[in-house]
């Protein structure tokens, strides 16, 4: 999944090798760079019968995309590829080139019925905005069933399982978008939770002095450019947290606030480009080591 993963597991069941095997299988099925992955074959053939796990992931992706009105949309693949993010062969496409790809973007162009999936002509999927969260959730379910506390770090996706055995709370830093090795704020809590951060700083390239990053507005074809430096979602579900971190980054601050106000299954910490930190009223009590504003329902 092209990211550093670090797991801290208290206990030895299930063995780390089993979690590794689960991850390798998911990577194998959902990679767009491995030509024989299940996803690559779907993107190439336009239809297939999916494995159970991939059908579950796609079903969640479709419903979360609809909920965000297409701000999170796995059909952005042609755009992501065009900008060179898929193969790390970065380039700045022309406006007509992007315009020509927009008709192939939209979750209504995916038909999923059980494990049977069909894509409209020219449509292709990218699970980069959701796969790590889904994978973390699946590993967490396995560890939860074995009563094994754990801290799972999959790039910008963090998932805690249970309580830390020494009784102290989990304490997780949110990266400073301007210095990602440092933290801009700390989230402290007990129990199982997913924390997922999206931000342009996580992957980008520079051309002619301009930075282009990897989160694409499906409506324009261009990297999102708004007042946000990063969005962190806190939720029970890692899959939802991952899809919504991408979606709220695309939405921008005001629309993200409205979206949160109409929802009851996640909390948000926004970091603006001007350095300001804003937390929803459910996230605020967990936040420390920074000054911040609070938005209410
Ligand atoms: P994340 O880091 O979770 O925000 O996901 C970003 C990755 O998801 C990118 O590297 C692309 O592979 C893909 N992606 C980019 N823009 C979108 C979007 N608007 N909706 C869904 N996936 C996206
Ligand atoms: Mg995401």
At residue 23, the pLDDT reads 93
Dist. CA 203 → ligand 2 center (Å): 13
CA angle 221, 231, 82 (to 5 degrees): 20
Position 235 confidence tier, pLDDT thresholds 50, 70, 90 = very high
Number of the ligand closest to the Cα of 86: 1
Report the C-alpha gap between 260 and 245 in whole angstroms.
Answer: 12
- Predicted confidence at residue 290, as pLDDT, reads 98
Q: Which atom from ligand 1 is nearest to the alpha carbon of 71? A: 19
Coil, strand, or helix at residue 110? Answer: strand
Start-to-end CA distance of the chain, whole Å, equals: 36
| Distance of CA 127 from the midpoint of ligand 2 (Å) | 9
Provide the pLDDT for residue 12: 72
**Per the structure block, which two tokens stand in for 213?**
């990053």
Closest to 267 (Cα-Cα) out of 177, 201, 217, 193 = 193
Q: What is the pLDDT of residue 231?
A: 98
Give the residue-averaged pLDDT of 9-36.
87
Pick from 68, 214, 242 the residue to mutate for probing ligand 1's pocket: most ligand atoms within 8 Å of its CB.
Answer: 214
Whole-angstrom Cα distance, residue 203 to residue 265?
Answer: 28
Checking if the pLDDT of 1 tops 90, the result is no
Question: Percentage of the chain with pLDDT > 70?
Answer: 99
- Which residue has its alpha carbon closest to ligand 1 atom 4? 246
pLDDT at 238: 98
Q: What is the pLDDT of residue 11?
A: 84
In this structure, what token pair is assigned to residue 99? 């315009």
Pocket of ligand 1 (CB under 6 A): 72-74, 76, 80, 85, 126, 128-129, 156, 198, 202-203, 214-216, 218, 242, 245-246, 250
| In the predicted structure, residue 13 carries a pLDDT above the cut 70 | no
What was the pLDDT predicted at 16?
79
**Span 277-286, average pLDDT:** 98
User: DSSP letters of 55-69?
Assistant: HHHHHHHHHHHHHTT
Q: Which residues pair with 126 in a beta bridge?
A: none
Closest CA to 143 of 41, 237, 19: 19
């Amino acid at each position: 999944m092209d990211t550093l993963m670090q797991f801290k597991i208290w206990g030895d069941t299930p063995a780390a090798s089993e979690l590794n095997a689960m991850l390798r299988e998911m990577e194998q099925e959902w990679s767009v760079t491995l030509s024989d992955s299940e996803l690559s074959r779907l993107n190439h053939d336009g239809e297939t019968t999916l494995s159970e796990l991939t059908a579950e992931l796609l079903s969640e992706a479709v419903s979360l995309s609809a909920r965000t009105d297409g701000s999170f949309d796995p059909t952005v693949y042609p755009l992501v590829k065009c900008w060179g993010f898929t193969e790390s062969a970065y380039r700045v496409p022309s406006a007509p080139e992007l315009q020509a790809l927009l008709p192939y973007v939209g979750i209504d162009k995916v038909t999923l019925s059980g494990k049977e999936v069909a894509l409209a002509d020219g449509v292709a999927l990218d699970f980069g905005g959701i796969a790590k969260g889904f994978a973390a959730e699946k590993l967490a379910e396995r560890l939860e069933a074995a009563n094994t506390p754990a801290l799972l770090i999959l790039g910008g996706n963090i998932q805690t399982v249970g309580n830390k055995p020494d009784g102290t709370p989990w304490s997780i830093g949110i990266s400073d978008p301007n210095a990602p090795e440092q933290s801009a704020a700390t989230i402290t809590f007990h129990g199982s939770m997913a924390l997922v951060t999206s931000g342009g700083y996580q992957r980008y390239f520079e051309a002619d002095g301009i930075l282009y990053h990897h989160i694409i507005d499906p409506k324009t074809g261009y990297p999102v450019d708004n007042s946000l430096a990063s969005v962190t979602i806190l939720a029970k579900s890692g899959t939802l947290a991952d899809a919504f971190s991408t979606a709220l980054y695309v939405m921008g601050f005001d629309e993200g606030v409205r979206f949160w106000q109409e929802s009851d299954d996640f909390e948000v910490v926004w970091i603006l480009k001007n350095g300001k930190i804003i937390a929803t009223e459910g996230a605020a009590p967990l936040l420390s080591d920074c000054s911040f504003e609070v938005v209410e329902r």
